[in-house]
Amino acid sequence: MAPRLSPIGWGALAGAVVGVVLGRALGWLELAAAGAALTVVLVLALLMTVGRERYEVELDLADRRVRVGERAVGRLTVRNASRRRSLPARIELPVGAGGADLALPSLAGGAEHDDLFAIPTSHRAVVVVGPVRSVRGDPLGIARRTLRWTDPVELFVHPALVALTGSSAGVLRDLEGQATRDLSDSDLSFHALRDYVAGDDRRYIHWRTTARRGVLMVKQFEDTRRTQTVLALSTDPRDFDDDDEVELGVSTIASIGVQTLREQRDLVVLAGPGRLRVSSPPRLLDDCSAVSVEVGGTGVSGLGRRIAREAPSASVAVLVTGSVPTPADLRAAARHVPVGTRTLVLACSPGAEISVRTQGSLSIGTLGALDDLPRVLRRVVG
């Protein structure tokens, strides 16, 4: 990258031009001398950026996936790939919205310099680390030359989780073989017998009844389906009182989602403008790290409609929101969930007492802490 002037450099350049031009035009020797001095300083600053470093830079994170509050460390290794001794330089390492400036000493040919650094993980986030850049310039900060050495690396700070093993039985149960009211001529759940109709599959003729009645009778079945659990999180900031409610909501979705995947059940997670990836628990948690509430996001009032549109065959639906919506709002949101879907609406309110009210296939609960989630689910199925 070519050398660039800093704001100080551009000011010095303007002062040099004004000093030389006006000094000569007005015959003001002192002003012309000041302009000439600034010109010399600019030339020297640019000369200090000349030269081509030959580094081999490696940016390594001990773990690219950590839980909130876990220690995240990285290592930066810089090797002088030339035969000549390198000049001291400054290394810029962006970390999220911040960054670190590391001093790189003069290195002999083939020598290496290591730096260890820690990354804050107090908040759920996707932290972009890098790209690593070396900076050469003058002590006054007039000119600088920056070279990029690595690509950025993403660190996923996953939300907090709570174990749901055992406590989810009944809500996240496998509905394989659960009968619906839809009748079928071929399935797993036997329902009744009926008269044979031309075109029926003869494999399903019930011969004992046929022999007893003297009329061909065939088996009729009820359609069965496998559980499809859909989790939907409100991303409208108006549904949440503070950031703690948002984090509790994301952790709730993540905890139920991870348990559902571990039990090898079909899962759909709706949070933000699209679906989260559910091919594996780590990928789901990676996407949960990036979930945010923003103006224009889907509020709790629209979650039921979204479920009906994107997951109409869901067997279990969990809607998660903050403490702002009223119980009437929560019931109204659940009305749009497809008929026959077991529905749980959770309002996240840190510090609140847990409560669950169930009417038919709809349960509405209040969650005061992530550790209370297993108790809430047990009350839903109790």
Please tell me the predicted confidence (pLDDT) of residue 171.
Answer: 52
Over residues 144-172, the pLDDT tens digits come to 777 888 899 999 999 999 988 754 544 55
Over residues 274-285, the pLDDT tens digits come to 899 999 999 999
Which residue spans within the chain are E strands per DSSP?
A: 4-5, 55-61, 65-67, 72-80, 89-95, 98-104, 112-119, 125-129, 133-137, 143-148, 153-158, 178-184, 189-195, 217-225, 228-233, 266-271, 316-321, 342-348, 355-359, 362-367
* CA distance to 23, 30, 141, 178, per residue, from 27 (Å): 6, 9, 31, 99
Which residues are CB-neighbours of 155 under 8 A, at least 6 positions away? 61, 64, 65, 66, 72, 119, 126, 127, 128, 129
Highest mean pLDDT among 8-22, 168-182, 226-240, 276-290: 276-290
List the alpha helices (DSSP H) in 48-123.
none
Write the DSSP symbol of residue 23: H
Please tell me the predicted confidence (pLDDT) of residue 367.
Answer: 95
pLDDT confidence bin for 307, thresholds 50/70/90: very high
Supply the DSSP string of 148-179, one letter for each residue: E-S--EEEEEEPP----TTTTTTTS---TTEE
Judge if the upstream peptide bond of residue 131 is cis by omega within 30 degrees of 0: yes
* CA distance to 127, 179, 187, 201, 215, per residue, from 195 (Å): 66, 22, 18, 12, 7
- The CB density around residue 76, as the number of other CB atoms within 10 Å, is 23
Please tell me the predicted confidence (pLDDT) of residue 174.
Answer: 38
Query: Under a CB-based contact definition with an 8 Å cutoff, are residues 116 and 153 in contact?
Result: no
Which residues are CB-neighbours of 210 under 8 A, at least 6 positions away? 216, 217
Please tell me the predicted confidence (pLDDT) of residue 173.
Answer: 53
- 274 or 140, which is more confident: 274
Over residues 62-93, the pLDDT tens digits come to 899 999 999 899 999 999 988 888 878 888 89
Query: Under a CB-based contact definition with an 8 Å cutoff, are residues 376 and 367 in contact?
Result: yes
Domain residue spans of the chain: 4-47, 55-157, 178-225, 228-381
Cα-flanking dihedrals φ and ψ of residue 145, to 5°?
-130, 125
Which residues are CB-neighbours of 119 under 8 A, at least 6 positions away? 61, 72, 73, 74, 95, 96, 127, 129, 155
CATH code 3.40.50.410 for 228-381: yes
* CA distance to 105, 136, 147, per residue, from 90 (Å): 8, 7, 11
Write the DSSP symbol of residue 182: E
The one-letter amino acid at 176: E
Write the DSSP symbol of residue 253: H
> Does the pLDDT at position 185 exceed 50?
no
Nearest to 342 by CA among 364, 366, 317, 372: 317
Q: What's the gap between Cα 116 and its chain centre?
A: 26
Cα 239 from Cα 258, distance rounded (Å): 24
Q: What angle do CA 344, 349, 351 make, to 5 degrees?
A: 125
Residue 176 burial (CB < 10 Å; 0-12/13-18/19+)?
exposed
Over residues 331-367, the pLDDT tens digits come to 998 999 988 888 999 999 999 999 999 887 889 999 9
Query: Under a CB-based contact definition with an 8 Å cutoff, are residues 128 and 96 in contact?
Result: yes
Please tell me the predicted confidence (pLDDT) of residue 2.
Answer: 61
Same fold flag, 55-157 and 228-381: no
The pTM (predicted TM-score) of the whole model is 0.75
Cα 161 from Cα 289, distance rounded (Å): 12
* Fold type of domain 55-157: Immunoglobulin-like (2.60.40)
First to last CA, the chain: 66
Mean pLDDT of the chain: 84
Which residues are CB-neighbours of 14 under 8 A, at least 6 positions away? none
